[in-house]
Amino acid sequence: MTQSTAHLVVTDLHFSYPEYPGIAARKLFNGLNLRLPAGSMALLLARPDQGKTTLCRVLAGLIPRFSGGRLRGTARLGGVELLDSRPYDLIDQVGLVFQHPGEQLLLSRCDSEIAFALESLGVERPEIRKRLDGALRTMELERYRYDSPKVLSGGEKKKLLIACLLAVDPRLWLLDETLEELDRDTKQRLLRLLQERGRSTLVLSAKWHELFREYVQRVFILEDGTVQSIAAPMGTPEFQGVLLQRGFILPGEVRPAQKRSGGPRERSTSQGGSPEGEALLAADGLSFSYDGVNRGGMPSFSLHVDSLRLEAGRTTALVGDNGSGKSTLGRILCGLLTPARGTIRIRKNGRLEEAAAEDLNRFTGYLFQDPDLQIFLPTVFEELALGLRQLRLPAEEIERRVADAVSLFDLPATGVPPSLMSYGARKKLQAAVYYLLDRPLMIIDEGDSGLSVDDFAEMVRLFHGQRNALLFITHDSRLAEALADEVLQLRDGRFV
């Protein structure tokens, strides 16, 4: 591809969203300035709700066109004024991978998804086929060419969106929390490829990954509506200190059991429970396969688990590459998928008893990667109160517990519609719902995506009660080592 790159220059950017029910209009950007030299890669770190996603969508021409709000300032990519451009005029100029892939995938086949933008640009059919094949191969998605994006895991959906951009090869790449939910090899392959192509790239993240040190030239922090660069060189104690102070890294030695502090942040819903170390769930000889072959003729994925024990008061991290079976295992353990063979036993009446799907549904809380699959009511209060009402609790008790959860998970006012909340805030709401349900086993699937590391560590701490066993799925080995008592790894559907 022969396109040239260009400087990105953002000058004196101001933006406020409209006022919504329960949410006052807030000035999100207050004279924001940012310069990205042609062909360079920069990292923009920001805590949730500071405006990472909004900035990306402003630069891609989506905001305020589709959101409303007040915007002024300039943003130029070479000779193109981005703020005056329509999104479809920027297809080959600005490429954006959304934080939440479900908002961006539209078509019924993976190959059609990649070809769509190329067809819109009028690329000739042989060239489309060439670029499509190359993008699928680079992102290791060839087996899914003819399949629906719906069959992909959360990380594989992000790989598909990256493949879409690889085929177009825009001048500027905006990666909004894109590296979350990707395994290390995929992250490294993507960053190396962008470096080799000399593409101008802005990576946006709520956490620091050591991989960044190898690829990014500058590190910025977005905070209180403005962007500042970190003056200290990467890797120095001063640099690490800034990251730790802002919540972008965790002290590696901190573990949940050491962090309980009592006082107002202690659980208010605990009902006692099993002694620490007692097995709450035991799975043996599990085998599961998705039926038949996919539409490309490739054998379907299969999972085989010889033995798994999850114990009260212990936190287990489950790691593995994209498509290795982590979410599949989680869905089996909560009763959403039924294994072809094997047994799952849960602690009932003081002993482990074999569990049917409906038993697992009541025993296990499972937080999906995509919070929007579990959030569907009109306000924060209604979402939090639903499960408590099903327990037939008095109205005053429901209100007390909801208020407690809002405080613990740092949620907005109870009258706010979840649809107006950020992706990270919706994840915290999703977690608060299950916190109130107080299930003996809690499974959090990629819960750290879209959250700062200290926010996720606090979520783990809240679920880490004497009564509960906690399993969290992540691609962040640093988080796994810092927060878990045990780390399990899946590879191609098997523990290694």
pTM of the model: 0.86
Q: What is the residue type of 311?
A: E
Q: Which residues of 376-401 are buried (b: 16+ CB within 10 A; e: fewer)?
A: eeebbbbbbbebbeeeebeeeebeeb
In this prediction, residue 464 carries a pLDDT of 82
What would you report as the CA-atom Rg of the chain, rounded to the nearest whole angstrom?
Answer: 23
Tell me what pLDDT residue 20 has: 76
C-alpha separations of 227 from 44, 258, 393 in Å: 8, 35, 47
Distance CA 371, CA 392 (A): 25
Q: Which residues pair with 332 in a beta bridge?
A: none
* Both structure tokens of 285: 């000889």
Q: Return averaged pLDDT per consecutive 10 residues of the chain, 496 residues in all.
A: 69 91 79 94 92 94 91 93 92 92 91 94 95 96 93 91 95 93 90 92 93 93 94 90 88 46 35 69 93 54 92 93 90 94 93 94 93 92 94 94 95 89 91 93 90 89 80 89 92 89
Strand-pair partners of 9: 35, 76
In our burial notation (b when 16+ CB lie closer than 10 A, e otherwise), range 238-269 reads ebeebbeebbbbbeeeebbeeeeeeeeeebee
155, 476 in Cβ contact below 8 A? Answer: no
Nearest-angstrom CA–CA distance, 335 and 355 = 9
CA distance 434 to 409: 12
Handedness of CA 96, 100, 105, 106 (dihedral sign): negative
**Given this model, what pLDDT does residue 338 score?**
93
Token look-up 């969106």 returns 161
Backbone dihedral angles phi then psi of residue 476, each to the nearest 5 degrees: -95, 100
Cross-strand pairs, 205: 45
Asked whether the beta carbons of 491 and 324 are under 8 A apart, the reply is: yes
| Alpha carbons 191 and 376: distance in angstroms, whole number | 36
**What is the distance of C-alpha 258 from the center of its chain?**
26
- The structure tokens listed for 178 are 């894109």
- How many C-beta atoms surround the C-beta of residue 88 within 10 A? 10
pLDDT confidence of residue 22: 65
DSSP one-letter code for 352: E
For 496, counting Cβ atoms within 10 Å of its Cβ (0-12 exposed, 13-18 middle, 19+ buried), the class is exposed
Asked if 442 contacts 473 with a C-beta cutoff of 8 angstroms, the reply is: no
Category of 335 on φ-ψ map: left (φ > 0), alpha (ψ -120 to 50) or beta: left
CB atoms within 10 A of CB 12: 12
Count the neighbouring beta carbons within 10 Å of the beta carbon of residue 433. 23
- Is the Cβ–Cβ distance between 370 and 100 less than 8 Å? yes
With CA atoms as reference, report the closest residue to 295 among 131, 127, 109: 109
**SS3 assignment for 65-84:** CCCCCEEEEEEEECCEEHHH
Peptide bond into 48 cis (omega under 30): no
Q: Are 15 and 64 in contact (CB under 8 A)?
A: yes
According to the model, what pLDDT value does residue 281 have?
95
Residue 18 and residue 1: Cα distance in Å, rounded? 41
